[in-house]
Amino acid sequence: MSTPSLLILPGDGIGPEVMAEVVKIIDWYGENRGLTFDVTMDLVGGAAYDAHGVPLSDETMAKAQEVDAVLLGAVGGPKYDTLDFSVKPERGLLRLRKEMDLFANLRPAQCFDALADFSSLKKDVVAGLDIMIVRELTSGIYFGEPRGIITENNERVGINTQRYTESEIERVARSSFELAMRRNRKLCSMEKANVMESGILWREVVTEVGKDYPDVALSHMYADAGAMQLCRWPKQFDVIVTDNLFGDLLSDAAAMLTGSLGMLPSASLGAPMANGRPKAMYEPVHGSAPDIAGQGKANPIACILSFAMALRYSFDEGEEATRLEKAIEKVLADGVRTADLLGEEGATPVSTSEMGDKIVAALDASL
Ligand code: NAI
Ligand code: MG
């Protein structure tokens, strides 16, 4: 196969700072594991607006469609708050998601043992937690028509519509079953089939797709019960699939079980391309963190873990992804912390770049 290609879009604020650490990791794989990537660096968000007057140029969009994976830092910042809605930094991100048709948003909730004390839940509830929430990202109530605010009987009425077609449910269900096959063969689908017709259809279609995956144990849960179970005993789950709205809430809640925003990666996957790889974009969950940008304080781990997801889901390098995750685990176990991972006790934190160097050193030690 030809050299895998990566489009790197560092973006704004701490985006470029955390991405610089990912580049160190990418270079390490080239030098030590013979894993080289055809890397293109480009602009997105405010950085693209400053250069081109748009948050994502057509050339960058075309490149994103062509590469094996996009790796994005973060976009936005106070400097751009007064811009017109149509050219706001976030529009660049939304354009990528929409035009690449990234319908499956993968949000892991993973707890590194060294950080288990950081959770708001009891240590034994979260220690060793490793679950994945798949959120449908391109349809549902955030996009359904009709929508708007109208006047009816002399009062205003706000309207949004939850609408899912069979094929929209089918494709995200299939991605989730495929994921479950690579993990622990356990999938829980969440909707509210008790009160929503779209939920009834969701449950039916997921069940039908499940017939193609007899090795995966499929269960269904009402999303509100799912929220309770996630807080009570999250380790009962492995992969969860749910719609856009419930997924937005459940993935944010599950993510927080494990601590800091600086630790959370994500992947957004679309349909398979001609080479069999899915359209894909990987990015940390956090934003551009203007309050700490330019100070070397950002935790690069969320972005580095996003690259680990790229290794696993775009490049079929699951073992190398595990190597990287283990290196991060070791660094954390050694007590290395960026400022966001320190409690009140006030040990001296390492800088963004020192954290990257420590992870590279742990990778060296893994050989
Ligand atoms: P944020 O995620 O940028 O920051 C929230 C808080 O978490 C801040 O106190 C920040 O310092 C901290 N934080 C975030 N990432 C961190 C990291 N890697 N290491 C250490 N601390 C970290 O969210 P906020 O403040 O609501 O938004 C700031 C800007 O980012 C806004 O312009 C917003 O629109 C944009 N944003 C962009 C996103 C994206 O590019 N995907 C997602 C969320 C917000
Ligand atoms: Mg959200």
| 289 Cα to the center of ligand 1, angstroms | 4
Residue 115 confidence (pLDDT) above 70: yes
| 249 Cα to the center of ligand 2, angstroms | 6
Find the farthest-apart pair of alpha carbons in the chain and give their distance in angstroms, rounded. Answer: 72
Q: Which two tokens stand for residue 294?
A: 């330019």
Gap between the Cα atoms of 323 and 328, Å rounded = 9
Binding residues: 77-90, 97, 107, 135, 224, 248, 252, 287-299
Q: Which two tokens stand for residue 48?
A: 């693209």
Closest Cα to atom 23, ligand 1: which residue? Answer: 287
Closest Cα to atom 34, ligand 1: which residue? Answer: 76
- Whether the CA torsion 77, 80, 85, 87 is positive or negative: it is negative
Note the Cα 339 to chain centre separation in Å: 22
pLDDT one-digit tens code per residue, 83-96: 998 999 999 999 99
> Taking a C-beta distance cutoff of 8 angstroms, is the pair 131, 240 a contact?
yes
> Taking a C-beta distance cutoff of 8 angstroms, is the pair 267, 315 a contact?
no
In the chain, the amino acid numbered 141 is I
Radius of gyration for the alpha carbons in the chain, expressed in angstroms and rounded: 21
Q: What is the pLDDT of residue 344?
A: 61
Q: Which atom of ligand 1 is nearest to the CA of 339?
A: 20
| 13 Cα to the center of ligand 2, angstroms | 20
Asked if the interface predicted TM-score (ipTM) of this complex is over 0.90, the answer is yes
All domains of the chain in start order, with CATH: 1-111+260-367 (3.40.718.10)
Strands 144-152 and 155-161: antiparallel
pLDDT one-digit tens code per residue, 162-209: 999 999 999 999 999 999 999 999 999 999 999 999 999 999 999 999
In which band, very low, low, confident or very high, does the pLDDT at 2 lie, cut at 50, 70 and 90? Answer: confident
| 131 Cβ inside 6 Å of ligand 1 | no
Say which ligand is closest to the CA of 137.
Answer: 2
pLDDT one-digit tens code per residue, 332-343: 999 999 999 987
Angle at 127 between CA 246 and CA 303, to 5 degrees: 65
The residue to mutate among 44, 90, 288, having the most atoms of ligand 1 within 8 angstroms of its beta carbon, is: 288
Gap between the Cα atoms of 320 and 363, Å rounded = 10
Binding residues for substrate: 97, 107, 135, 224
| 355 Cβ inside 6 Å of ligand 1 | no
Residue 328 confidence (pLDDT) above 70: yes
Gap between the Cα atoms of 137 and 169, Å rounded = 11
Q: What is the pLDDT of residue 120?
A: 84
Q: What is the pLDDT of residue 126?
A: 92
